[in-house]
Amino acid sequence: MPAPDLARHPLTRWSGPLGLPDFSAIADADFPAVFDAALAAHQAEIAAIAGNAEAATIENTLEALELSGEALDRVCAIFWCRAGAHTNPDIQALERAIAPKMARHFSAIHMNAALFSRIDALHREREALGLDAETARVLEKTWKRFVRAGAKLGEEEKTRLAAINERLASLGAQFGQNVLADEAAWALYLDEGDDLAGLPDFLKAAMVEAAASRGYQGRYAVTLSRSIVEPFLTFSARRDLRLKAFEAFTGRGGNGGDTDNGPVVRETLALRSQKARLLGYDSYAAFKLDDTMAKSPAAVLALLEPVWEKARAKAEVDRQALQRLAAAAGDNAPLAAADWRYWQEKLRAEKFAFDEAGLKPYLQLDRIIDACFDVAGRLFGLTFEEEKTGIAAWHEEVRVFEVKDADGAHRATFLADYFSRPSKRSGAWMSSLQGAHRLGAGAAPIVYNIMNFARPPRGRPALLSMDEARTLFHEFGHALHGMLSEARWPSVSGTAVSRDFVELPSQLYEHWLTVPEILKKHALHHETGQPMPAELVDKMLEARNFDAGFATVEFAASALVDMAYHSQREAPQDPLAFEAGTLERLGMPKEIAMRHRTPHFLHVFSGDGYSAGYYSYMWSEVLDADAFSAFEETGDVFDAATAQKLRAHIYSAGGTKDPEELYRAFRGKMPSPDAMMAKRGLA
């Protein structure tokens, strides 16, 4: 069979509207041959750059490297989107095959001695090259990336490191697929009557839809989607059913058999430890943090440990209150982790005279999407026009929007995939089919958000919890970071920033969800169209830190365990015993579970993205609490001058400058953790 023509194939030549691929012309069977052809094409481009007889220049080496591999970038963008958002056995089999192949390919590039010698020559002469600041930063980051990937190692060490990278890629793919398999395989089917005691109508409607999608018409399904299982744990009056659901939810990836992630984690940690030592670092955490704002595990712990102690103390006060409330209701059993959300919601209703179920009628998905767009318009002058006809995407539920600047010029294409399904991995995320840059011919951003909201019955609106509405704003903040990029160089565009800075644009954007004028305009009752009553808004805002102890313990435990795993010089032989020992040392309340237990900790083990980096959400939270204060101090949370600085120095700058320099340019100073502590209700 002849190799595919990369200049004409729909996977690599995108001819759809708004610069999109023509998904209707793409078949799963196309991927293997196009991957092979694109890898070969990229290898040829790299060989030409490395073998250039002329002396290295920015144009013939750095620019050529940045612009190489376009076909590979395109097929990868489509494939990894499919692998996360709409997979199947064929895609999963290919994922297991392509992950190590990609690792091998990029190891070969980073360990190419001739290529590195050209980059090294430019790096040595950088002061004499008269480079602009962005180009100088790209050169520095490129040189460091090659060094961190083993370019300076001896041949034997290079071979070993390449093998480690290849195996880690396979393990990451396997970890994610195991979690997805456990999530897809489990459901708790319930019937009318006592099974549904305590459940609000919005949850019962979502459970009917979930059961029907699995072939169980007329029944109710508790699934392991957070959009269903967490409200079930919050409202179900049946403790026995809560215990079953909680055990399944926290047990994902750790159930034995073919999908058990214990061996995957053990080998992953061992290989990461070996990789760090090969590259001259004491631990994998030291390796990962060397290129972040935090710089060291000690700096991370200096943030996390004081927060942990305050959160644990708050959680203990709350535990006693919940136990008393349960006892007063006739439940004298010791409070268990499966009980916390249930009694916490009862206590919220008692203290603040409202519950989360009372908010849901006002939080329609479409209205919250409109609110996201409205805020982006007020801050940055953007408009969003939905393309409702004739544009195919990876799934029929995907929505497509053209994004325009204030002058009407095309800014970006935005795609959104909102509902949970068995073919989609859990969680919520932002990514890009195409990043923005201005090198060569340039490229306009094509950005997408993935959510896992419960699908409503046909003809009824999807109603969100406040936490889900925040998640939508959060991921849209990431999307704006990609869409507003003005970077020239692809490698520093959009979200290509240090891990503990990347969450700033997303977490900051969450603040605008609860701005009163946004709630008044968009938080409208799905039946009456009336805005959320001011009294309910006030109660919601008053209660927003009500669960601060629980929420912070849940998060910080995961961050501290992640850091503990990766701070060891020698990886633990029994990761789950190490997890238990770490939690015992920390004094983890037995009534609260980690937000992400080790066997399903996708951030850390399904790839390398947040390994030794889960802390970054809290690190960025220190920044976002202070950044929103910049608006509050003006008396106008949409202040135009502050918004212009925010766009210029945070959302549009990408990684063109050091993150601390960017933040200082916006705010004039670096923040202390005090604002974050106050925001969480822990001050």
What proportion of the chain, given as a percentage, has pLDDT over 70? 100
Average of per-residue pLDDT across 331-354: 94
Letter string b/e over residues 516-550, b meaning 16 or more CB atoms within 10 A of that residue's CB: eebbeebbbebeeeebbeeebbebbeebebbbbbb
Average pLDDT, stretch 524-543? 94
In tens, the pLDDT along 185-203 reads: 999 999 999 999 999 999 9
Torsion (CA) 608, 612, 617, 619 in degrees, nearest 10:
-140
Section 462-474 average pLDDT: 97
Q: How far apart are CA 251 and CA 234, in angstroms?
A: 18
Q: Domain 17-180 class? A: mainly alpha
73-116 tens-digit pLDDT: 999 999 999 999 999 999 999 999 999 999 999 999 999 999 99
Q: Kindly state the average pLDDT of the residues 17-27.
A: 96
Per-residue pLDDT at 679? 86
Question: pLDDT at residue 678 above 70?
Answer: yes
Confidence of residue 228 (pLDDT cuts 50, 70, 90): very high
Q: Measure the CA angle with vertex 145, ends 144 and 146; round to 5°.
A: 90
Residues 247-266 have a mean pLDDT of 97
Q: Which residues lie closer than 8 Å to 470 by C-beta, 6 or more apart?
A: 510, 513
Q: What is the number of other CB atoms lying within 10 angstroms of the CB of residue 314?
A: 21
**Which tens digits make up the pLDDT trace of 306-327?**
999 999 999 999 999 999 999 9
Q: How far apart are CA 655 and CA 488, in angstroms?
A: 11
Total Cβ atoms within 10 A of residue 513: 21
Which runs of E-coded beta strand occur in 435-566? Answer: 446-453
Task: Compute the distance between CA of residue 538 and CA of residue 518 in angstroms, rounded to an integer.
Answer: 14
To the nearest whole number, what is the mean pLDDT of the chain? Answer: 96
* Fold agreement (17-180, 361-542): yes
Give mean pLDDT, residues 640-645. 98
Check residue 388 and give its pLDDT.
86
Would you call 475 a catalytic residue per the annotation?
yes
Q: Which helix (H) or strand (E) holds 453?
A: strand 446-453
- Give the pLDDT confidence score for residue 675 in this predicted structure: 87
Q: Closest Cα partner for 614 from 625, 598, 628?
A: 598
Does the pLDDT value for residue 220 go beyond 90?
Answer: yes
| Rg of the chain, C-alpha, whole Å | 25
| Gap between the Cα atoms of 455 and 463, Å rounded | 9
Predicted local distance difference test score (pLDDT) of residue 390? 80
Domain ranges for the chain: 17-180, 186-251, 361-542
Q: Is the pLDDT of residue 1 over 80?
A: no
- Give the length of the chain: 683
Helix (H) or strand (E) holding 419: strand 410-419
Among residues of the chain, what percentage have pLDDT more than 90?
A: 96
Q: Which of 292-301, 386-395, 656-665 has the lowest mean pLDDT?
A: 386-395
Per CATH, the number for 361-542 is: 1.10.1370.40
CB atoms within 10 A of CB 604: 25
Question: What does the pLDDT average to over 142-170?
Answer: 98
Q: Are 31 and 11 in contact (CB under 8 A)?
A: yes
CA dist 542 → 30, 514, 545, 546, 547 (Å)? 54, 12, 8, 8, 12
Confidence band (pLDDT; 50, 70, 90) for 2?
A: confident
Statement: residue 135 has pLDDT above 90: yes
- Among residues 166, 345, 475, 579, the one annotated as catalytic is 475
List, in sequence order, every beta strand (DSSP E) within 16-154: none
Locate 123 and state its tokens. Answer: 């790096």
- CA 156 to chain CA centroid, Å, is 36
For residue 358, the Cα-to-chain-centroid distance in whole angstroms is: 28
**The tokens of 177 are what?**
């697929």
pLDDT category of residue 3 using cuts at 50, 70 and 90: confident
Residue 381 has pLDDT above 90, yes or no: yes
